[in-house]
Amino acid sequence: MTLTSTACVSAVRDRRAFALLGSAQTTLIYTLSAIAVPLPEIGREFTLARADLILLSAAYGLSFAGLVLFGGRLADRFGGRRSLTAGLLLFAAASAVAPLAQGLGVLLAARFVQGAGAAVVAPAAMAVLRTVFPTPAAYGRAMATWGGLSVLGAAAGNLLSGVLTSLLSWRWALAVPLMVAVAALVLAPRLLPGTAPNRGRSLDLPGAVLATAGITLAGYGFLVTDGRSWLSADVLVPLLGGAALTATFRYAERRSRDPLLPPGFLGDRPRALGLAATALSACGTGMTFVVLSLHLQQDRDWSQLETSAAFLPFALALIGSGRAAGPLVHRYGAGSVGAWGLVTAAAGLVLLAVTGFDVRTPYVLGLLPGLVVLPAGAAASFAGAAVLTTEGVPPEQGGLAGGVLNTAMELGPTVLFAVLLTVGGDATSLTVTAVALAALALLHHPRTK
C-alpha cells in the first residue's frame, strides 16, 4: 500500500470516528431539548402543574451538569472508549424506560438517569476525539466543528420531537436517543481506537460527591424560584446548601493530591472566557427554544408540527454557519470568531425580543429574522469557545476538558435560564441575555488568543 493510499484510509477512518462521536454528542443535546415542544402535551396527559413541568424539563440537565466533571475523571482514569461504552449503556437503559413512563415519577427518574449516562458519555467522547486527532492543529480543527454540534442537537430536538409528537406520540420523540445509543454501542468497537487507562490517577470520590451535590442542589434552588420568593425556605435552603458544598469542594480540591478539578485549570483566561461564552450561548439558544415553543402553541395557537417547522430556518442557518466556522477559526483565530459570534447571537436575541412576541406581526417579519441571525452567531460562538476551552490541554486531561465544557453547556440552559426568567417576561429575559453576550464579546476579542 502506498503512502498516499495509507493516508486516504486513515482520513476515512478518522472521519467515520468523528461522525460516530459527533452523533453521540448531538444526541445528548437532542435529549435535553426534545422535551420542550411536547411538554404541554405531557403536562395534559399526566395532569402536571407548571412547577412539575419545569422540574421535568430540567431533570436531565441537572444530573448531566452535576456529574459531568466526575465523568471526565472516569474517562481520564479508565480510558475514553471504556468510559464511553459504560455511559452509553446507562444512557440506553434510561432511554428505554422514558418512552414507556406512565407517570411523572418514572419519567422524572428516567430523565435524571439519562443525564447521568450523558455525563459519562460527553467527556469520554472528547477524550477519544483527542486520540483520533492527536496533533494540536488537527484537534483544533475538529473542536471548531465540535463546538456547533450541541446547538445542532438542540435544533434537531425541537424539529424532530415536534414532528414525531404530532404524527405519532411524544413517546416516539423520547425513543430516538435509545436507537442512537444502541447503534453507537454496536459501532464503537469497530470505529473508535482503544484508549489506555491511566492507573496513576485516582478518582477523587470526595471531590466528585461534593461537586455533584453542590451543583445539583444549587441548580434545583434556582429552578424553584419560579413561583416562589427568593427568601422562601424552598429556595434559600438548596441555594445556601449548594453554595456551602461548592465552597467545601474548592477547599478540598486545594488539599487533594490528585484533584478532580485542578485549581489552576479554570484560571487560564482564554479557557474561562470560552466557558462563559459556552454557558451564555447555550442559555440564549435553549431559552429561545422553550419560550418560543410555548409562545407559538399557547399564544398563536400553532400545532406542534407548525411549531417545529418554525425552527427549520434556525437549523438551516446553523448548519451553514457551522460549516463556515471551522475554516474561519483556522484563519482568524478562535478569539475573533468567538467575539463576532457573540455579537451576532446578541443581535438575533434582540430581534426576537423586539418583534417575536407580537401575535399581530407575521412570522416572516417577526420571528424569521431572529431565527436566522441567532444560530449564525451561536455556531460561531460555540466554535470559538470550544477551541479556547480545549487549547493547550494535555492529552491526559482530555476528559477533564470535556467535563468542564459540558458543565458550562448544561448549566447555561438549566440554571441561567431559570434565573433570567425571574427578571421579567420572555422578551426581557432574551434582552438581558443579549446584553450579557455583547458584554462578554468585549472581553473575548483577540487578546484572548
Q: Are residues 34 and 92 in the same domain?
A: yes
Q: Are residues 82 and 176 in the same domain?
A: yes
Return the number of other C-beta atoms located less than 10 Å from residue 248's C-beta: 16
Q: Are residues 306 and 415 in the same domain?
A: yes
Q: Are residues 247 and 264 in the same domain?
A: no
C-alpha cell at 139: 484537534
Q: How many residues does the chain have?
A: 449
Q: Are residues 251 and 156 in the same domain?
A: no
pLDDT of residue 449: 42
Does 4 fall in a domain?
A: no
Does 199 fall in a domain?
A: no
The residue among 257, 272, 301 that closes a domain is: 257
Cα distance between residue 201 and residue 222, in whole Å: 34
C-alpha cell at 255: 488539599
pLDDT of residue 141: 76
Q: Are residues 327 and 396 in the same domain?
A: yes
Query: With 50 as the cut, is the pLDDT of residue 273 above it?
Result: yes
| pLDDT tens per residue across span 381-414 | 888 888 887 777 776 666 777 777 777 777 776 6
Instruction: Quickly state the pLDDT bin for 91 (edges 50, 70, 90).
Output: very high
Cα distance between residue 167 and residue 306, in whole Å: 12
- Report the run of H or E that residue 57 belongs to, with start and end: helix 50-78
Instruction: Quickly state the pLDDT bin for 226 (edges 50, 70, 90).
Output: low
Whole-angstrom CA distances from 51 to 58, 144, 285, 319 are 11, 37, 22, 34
Whole-angstrom CA distances from 231 to 125, 146, 235, 238, 413 are 41, 41, 7, 12, 23
- Calculate the CA 151 to chain-centre distance: 7
C-alpha cell at 435: 446584553
Question: Rg for the chain (alpha carbons), in Å?
Answer: 21
Is 139 in a helix, a strand, or coil?
helix
pLDDT of residue 3: 45
Does 200 fall in a domain?
A: no
Does the pTM surpass 0.85? The reply is no
The residue among 238, 257, 276 that closes a domain is: 257
Does 431 fall in a domain?
A: yes
Burial class (CB in 10 A: 0-12, 13-18, 19+), 300: middle
Instruction: Quickly state the pLDDT bin for 377 (edges 50, 70, 90).
Output: confident
Return the number of other C-beta atoms located less than 10 Å from residue 229's C-beta: 10
Average pLDDT, the chain: 79
Residue of higher predicted confidence among 113 and 136: 113
Does 333 fall in a domain?
A: yes
Q: Are residues 234 and 108 in the same domain?
A: no
| Domain housing 209 | 205-257
The residue among 213, 237, 257 that closes a domain is: 257
Residue of higher predicted confidence among 354 and 222: 354
Q: Are residues 185 and 328 in the same domain?
A: yes
Whole-angstrom CA distances from 18 to 72, 80, 214 are 19, 14, 33
CATH number at residue 50: 1.20.1250.20
Contact yes or no for 90/116 (Cβ under 8 A): yes
Cα distance between residue 88 and residue 79, in whole Å: 14
Q: Which residue has the cell 460527591?
A: 209
Q: Are residues 289 and 438 in the same domain?
A: yes
pLDDT of residue 96: 94
Cα distance between residue 423 and residue 421, in whole Å: 6
Query: With 90 as the cut, is the pLDDT of residue 179 above it?
Result: yes
Residue of higher predicted confidence among 88 and 227: 88
Instruction: Quickly state the pLDDT bin for 92 (edges 50, 70, 90).
Output: very high
Q: Which residue has the cell 408540527?
A: 305
pLDDT of residue 118: 92
Cα distance between residue 152 and residue 33, in whole Å: 11
pLDDT of residue 182: 94
Q: Are residues 294 and 377 in the same domain?
A: yes
Does 1 fall in a domain?
A: no
Does 322 fall in a domain?
A: yes
Number of domains in the chain: 2
Contact yes or no for 130/14 (Cβ under 8 A): no
Q: Are residues 272 and 161 in the same domain?
A: yes
Q: Are residues 184 and 237 in the same domain?
A: no
Does 232 fall in a domain?
A: yes
